[in-house]
Chain A
Amino acid sequence: MMLRMRIVKRQEPLGMWGSCLVLISALVLAVMLSGLLLWIGGTSPGGGIAALFQGAFGSRWALEDSVVKAIPIFLCSLGVAVAFRLKVWNIGAEGQFALGAVGATWVALSFPEWPKPLLIPAMIVMAMAGGGLWGFIPALLRQKLRTNEIIVTLMLNYIAILVLDYLVYGAWKDPASFGFPMTRAFSDQAVVGKIGSTNINWGLLHCVVLGAGVWAFFRFTRLGFDLKASGDNVKAAKYAGMPYDYLVMLVMIMSGALAGWAGFLEASATVNRLQPSIMVGYGYTAIVVAWLARLNPLSIGIGSILLAGLRVGVENLQLDLQVPAAFGGILEGLILLTVLAGGLFTHYRIEQRKNP
């Protein structure tokens, strides 16, 4: 008699505790696999994993660093999630982030003397406009000319980064930078400051407000409801007379504006100027986070901190044990794959099947 497995659909999806158990098992599996890799590479797996978590969450500093890094990921991811709600595949957060930083920088460099209560909102508005524009273009092409938004947003990412390059290598270059590609440092009024004595900037508060706002928008407003309905069933929504074209453009502008906001915070709060190295791929990380979090703002917050912590922790792993930077990618990839695969157990269970 042979034992065989078969997959059976659960009557009800796994509850919260069950889901947590699956998630933790997946993380443990990923950590064990990467520990194995460390061991093969001649590093103590236990020490390696400890160094990683120590560097990510093991001290006040580490925790602060992880939160700071999570802020741009969270906002980009929130933006991506808004578009995904309507099944519009915006993978252009990276470019929208860049244009947001460009828009905010333009204000900061043009009106450095404005008082802070005027300058910061103006920077935010221009950042949202820049990011929103970069979201609007693919939406317009998609609805009017039936052009695939995945390819347009992807191509626009490359173009946005080159626009940023063009400006910082050219017109916006700081005369005192000895020719290096960076703008002048922002005036104090253009800088979003830090919370108390911590290293975390007030961008964290922006995240909380925007996250709650997006959640409330989909839950309590008519427009939000229409959007969700259209996302669930495009044909039905069109049939019900919803202005689908308009909705798509709206979500893409919102989506881009949120990523643009992240670009503003990165330029204003953490770098205090615009330079090409602010582009480190947050826009792509955001897609992964949004999917794993099933587009839920709170889960997006948790996912952002996890992935940010991973990136920060890997530096500690390098410093203490001289493990190559690429190890971070391996661990990140493994975690994503195992968590994803573990999702199966939320809706299914595995049974032994007896052969007749």
Chain B
Amino acid sequence: MKVLKALVVMLVLGMAMAAYGADKPVKVGFVYVSPIGDAGWSYAHDLGRQAVAEMDGVTTSYVEAVAEGPDSERVILNMARKGYDLIFATSFGYMDPMLKVAKQFPKTSFMHCSGFKKADNMGNYFGRMYQARYLSGIVAGAMTKTNTLGYVAAFPIPEVIRGINAFTLGAQSVNPDVTVRVVWTKTWYDPATEKEAAKSLLDVGADVIAQHQDSPGPQEAAQEKGVYSIGYNSDMASFAPKAHLTAPVWNWAPYYAKVVDSVRKDNFKAESVWPGLADGIVDLAPFGPMVPEELQAKVNGVKADIAEGKKKVFAGPIKDQKGTLKLADNTAATDNELLGMTWFVEGVVGTTE
């Protein structure tokens, strides 16, 4: 019996070692647009990097606060020259620079986040954050008493606009009278200005504050006023325990591990992938205690429907702010339409400029 056990253990170990033995050591580089100390977008990617760094035979490094344009091309180029096997670039503006470098280094694998251009050795990826935004919109729409929701947002780029629209549609699905007011801060991290923006929304009657920023400034404003808030990026409950309803959050680690593994096994494919709730790359943070059980159940139900593909967030009829029909009945937005979204849906108060 003991012998058998030992044999099994050895067999398993041997298989495991064989599996690892087949894998080559991999150097993975990440390029971030902001300092990882921003607690937001780059921080979330860096959590993914740290998870990948735990894998056997994988070494990682990163360069932070890299401006889009010539600086990013230089950084990506230097990573390729230094023999990095796989490079992740995590901002839209890195697309063209990365493409240039990818053509010079055919043996290196490149992955670009949030863009659309590809090469034989360069893929692109993003997460369907708007699905989680939609769910958070349901929560906000059900919890508001004034039917006014506030949204503190950084820059009017498609990713942010798409999130605002999805949030609005989610809120309207449970509360047709709801309006979403948007304030642009034109900064990713300036907690004081973000908090002030949230206060300006509270002053005009908003009683749930959502945000697309890299700091929990807006959450603090909501808590001080005694109303609710929806976080972003990561679970922000600790910053405003009484206000925090939930938050749409990123979880890059499993996806990054998958790509790194494919490079390790020499079967990297330059794909365009856009995973969502189904793959766990985006999710909702745990609900706050003030969210009623029925609402939680309802949201989880919609989550399951979206994950299974039974429900599309952007499905017609959808009108824009002026009332023009943008998506006809029974049609769903294509991925390219979503990627290039520059208009607000009906019910949003604000401009996209």
A, B in one complex: yes
On A, residues with C-beta under 8 Å from B are 55, 61, 65, 68-69, 165-166, 169-170, 178-182, 185, 266, 270-271, 275, 277-278, 280, 312, 315-316, 318-320, 322, 324-326
List, sorted by A's number, 15 A–B pairs whose CB atoms are closer than 8 Å: A61-B78, A68-B70, A69-B70, A169-B155, A178-B340, A179-B157, A179-B339, A180-B158, A181-B155, A185-B96, A312-B74, A319-B75, A319-B79, A324-B35, A326-B35
Contacts of B74 in A (CB 8 A): 65, 312, 315
Contacts of B320 in A (CB 8 A): none
Would A179 and B340 count as touching, CB distance under 8 A? yes
Contacts of B336 in A (CB 8 A): 178
A-contact bits for B52-72, CB 8 A (1 contact / 0 none): 000000000111111111110
Would A325 and B68 count as touching, CB distance under 8 A? no
A258 to B157, CA, bound (A): 32
Contacts of A68 in B (CB 8 A): 70
A275 to B97, CA, bound (A): 13
Would B61 and A319 count as touching, CB distance under 8 A? yes
Contacts of A178 in B (CB 8 A): 116, 158, 336, 339-340
Would B62 and A318 count as touching, CB distance under 8 A? yes
Chain A interface SS verdict (over half): helix
Would A315 and B78 count as touching, CB distance under 8 A? yes
A322 to B64, CA, bound (A): 10
A-contact bits for B151-165, CB 8 A (1 contact / 0 none): 000011110010000
Q: If A179-B161, A325-B64 touch, does A271 touch B70 (CB 8 Å cutoff)?
A: yes
Interface membership of B288, Cβ < 8 A: no
Contacts of A325 in B (CB 8 A): 35, 63-65
A328 to B161, CA, bound (A): 35
Interface membership of B353, Cβ < 8 A: yes
Closest residue on chain B to residue A272 by CB atoms: B96
A69 to B61, CA, bound (A): 23
Would A277 and B64 count as touching, CB distance under 8 A? no
A319 to B62, CA, bound (A): 6
Task: Count how many pairs of residues, one from A and one from B, have CB atoms less than 8 Å apart in the complex.
Answer: 78
Query: Could you tell me how many residues of chain B have their Cβ less than 8 Å away from some Cβ of chain A?
Result: 37
A179 to B162, CA, bound (A): 11
Would A61 and B81 count as touching, CB distance under 8 A? yes
Closest residue on chain A to residue B343 by CB atoms: A179
Interface membership of B29, Cβ < 8 A: yes
B67-93 with Cβ < 8 A to chain A: 67-71, 74-75, 77-79, 81-82, 92-93
> Which of the listed residues A277, A280, A312, A320 has the most CB atoms from chain B within 10 Å of its own CB?
A277
Interface membership of B342, Cβ < 8 A: yes
Would B353 and A170 count as touching, CB distance under 8 A? yes
A188 to chain B, nearest CB (A): 15
Which of B63, B69, B81, B116 meets A318, CB within 8 Å?
A: B63
B88 to chain A, nearest CB (A): 14
Would B92 and A277 count as touching, CB distance under 8 A? no
Contacts of A179 in B (CB 8 A): 157-158, 161, 339-342
A325 to B71, CA, bound (A): 13
Would B78 and A322 count as touching, CB distance under 8 A? no
B340 to chain A, nearest CB (A): 4
Would A316 and B158 count as touching, CB distance under 8 A? no
- Closest 3 A/B residue pairs (Cβ): A178-B340, A179-B158, A277-B68
Contacts of B155 in A (CB 8 A): 169, 181
Would A280 and B67 count as touching, CB distance under 8 A? yes
Closest residue on chain B to residue A280 by CB atoms: B67
A316 to B74, CA, bound (A): 11
Contacts of B298 in A (CB 8 A): none
Would A169 and B79 count as touching, CB distance under 8 A? no
Would B157 and A277 count as touching, CB distance under 8 A? no
Contacts of A315 in B (CB 8 A): 63, 66, 74-75, 78
B133 to chain A, nearest CB (A): 17
Closest residue on chain A to residue B82 by CB atoms: A319
Interface membership of B103, Cβ < 8 A: no
Would A275 and B63 count as touching, CB distance under 8 A? no
Which of A69, A312, A322, A326 meets B62, CB within 8 Å?
A: A322
Interface membership of B326, Cβ < 8 A: no
Interface membership of B186, Cβ < 8 A: yes
Closest residue on chain A to residue B66 by CB atoms: A315
Which of A170, A275, A316 meets B68, CB within 8 Å?
A: A275
A182 to B93, CA, bound (A): 9
A23 to B156, CA, bound (A): 47
Contacts of A280 in B (CB 8 A): 67, 71
A325 to B341, CA, bound (A): 33
